[in-house]
Amino acid sequence: MMSQAFLPAMRQLVANRLRSQGFSQNRISGLLGITQASVSLYLSGGPSKAYSVLSRFALSKEDADAKAALLADAVRTSASEGVSTLFSIWMSLLGSGSVCAYHRELYPSLTDCEVCVKEFGGRGGARPDLIEEVAGAVRMLEQSPEFVGVMPEVSVNLACAAEDAQSPADVVAIPGRIVRVRDRAKAMLPPEAGASAHMSKVLLLARSRCKGLRACINIRYDRRMTGAMKKLHLRTISIGPYSRHEAKDPTAEAFRRRLTTTTGPFDAVVDEGGSGFEPNVYLFAKGAKEVAELALTLARAYLSA
């Protein structure tokens, strides 16, 4: 079901999305790891067949487009990020039971089977309270009409660390990030431990300076955001600009270097980005709810500026 139905349908939607963003067929074939002839075939047909196939996995057209957007962003970052995002999406579908009806249709003997739901439901390995803390904060963002106004093109993620966090496995985030769906933010997958290596690095670096910082979120950065942060008297430090080739995660590396040359507490890190990297602001707080509240307060200040 994965290789013969789900993956080809998602590839078609992702290929069409990348094409709409100006990518050539040759570039798309490289990003997706398929032949240019396959890309041409995907682009020549409309997406209706893909939507029909994905509906068998309990995905609406809106859900399918949102997941395709996640995958398109992921493969543009790196092949490994694309694989990680695809894996998270598929495991989430298995764990939620979205694949069961299709599976039972193919194999009626599986009427009473609950293996995937038991095996993959509630993945993450972190304390339930930490996962629920992040889920509650994400719901706040999803219900806000203002938050979409400060979402960057690279989308958003929110991460929260356990009190004794030592590694990314101790940090809960959203697999594939939080995307814009019409006029609201939407997390397409539930929180998981170890879901974002990048956000985990940034948060753990911040905690090396201040253990009281347990959560972070990224939002857009521009001159208007500078004014909004000043209005709220946020303490900031800046990193960048930098080159894509400086390190595997140049943002985290620039942050690491900056911490060696600055002292004192901070509420936000202004990431000026660089070639191929969109500027962002990373906000920090003592918990997931608090960082979501800070992001919403800043969003309102930004929109009223």
- In the prediction, which pLDDT does 206 show? 97
The closest alpha carbon to 266, from 209, 195, 181, belongs to 209
Q: Structure tokens of 128?
A: 């339930």
Q: Which residue has the higher pLDDT, 188 or 165?
A: 165
The two tokens of residue 70 are: 């996640």
Rounded Cα gap, residues 67 and 96, in angstroms: 15
Q: What is the pLDDT of residues 270-298, one digit of tens each?
A: 999 887 789 999 999 999 999 999 999 99
Question: What average pLDDT does the chain have?
Answer: 90
pLDDT at 123: 52
The yes-or-no verdict on residue 124 having pLDDT over 70 is no
Confidence of residue 181 (pLDDT cuts 50, 70, 90): confident
Domain ranges of the chain: 2-120, 128-304
Mean pLDDT of 141-157: 95
**Residue 24: CB partners within 8 Å, gap ≥ 6?**
none
Tens digit of each residue's pLDDT (9 = 90 or more) over 33-62: 999 999 999 999 889 999 999 999 999 998
Strand-strand pairing, 178-181 and 171-173: unpaired
Helix residue spans in the chain (DSSP H): 7-20, 25-32, 36-44, 48-55, 61-77, 79-96, 100-106, 115-120, 128-142, 197-209, 223-231, 250-259, 288-304
List pLDDT tens digits, range 76-122: 888 888 888 888 888 888 887 889 989 999 998 988 888 887 777 65
CATH of domain 128-304: 3.40.225.10
Provide the pLDDT for residue 204: 97
pLDDT at 244: 62
pLDDT at 193 over 60: yes
Q: Answer whether 28's CB lies under 8 Å from 19's CB.
A: yes
Phi, psi at 268, each rounded to 5°: -150, 150
Are 25 and 41 in contact, with CB atoms under 8 Å apart? no
Q: Reduced to 3 states, what is the DSSP secondary structure of residue 151?
A: coil
Reported pTM:
0.68
- Close Cβ partners of 236 (under 8 Å, ≥ 6 residues apart): 229, 266, 267, 268, 269, 270
pLDDT > 90 fraction of the chain, expressed in percent and rounded: 62
Q: What CA–CA distance (Å, rounded) separates 152 from 137?
A: 18
User: Does the pLDDT of residue 127 top 80, yes or no?
Assistant: no
Query: For 18-37, what is each residue's pLDDT tens digit?
Result: 999 999 999 999 999 999 99
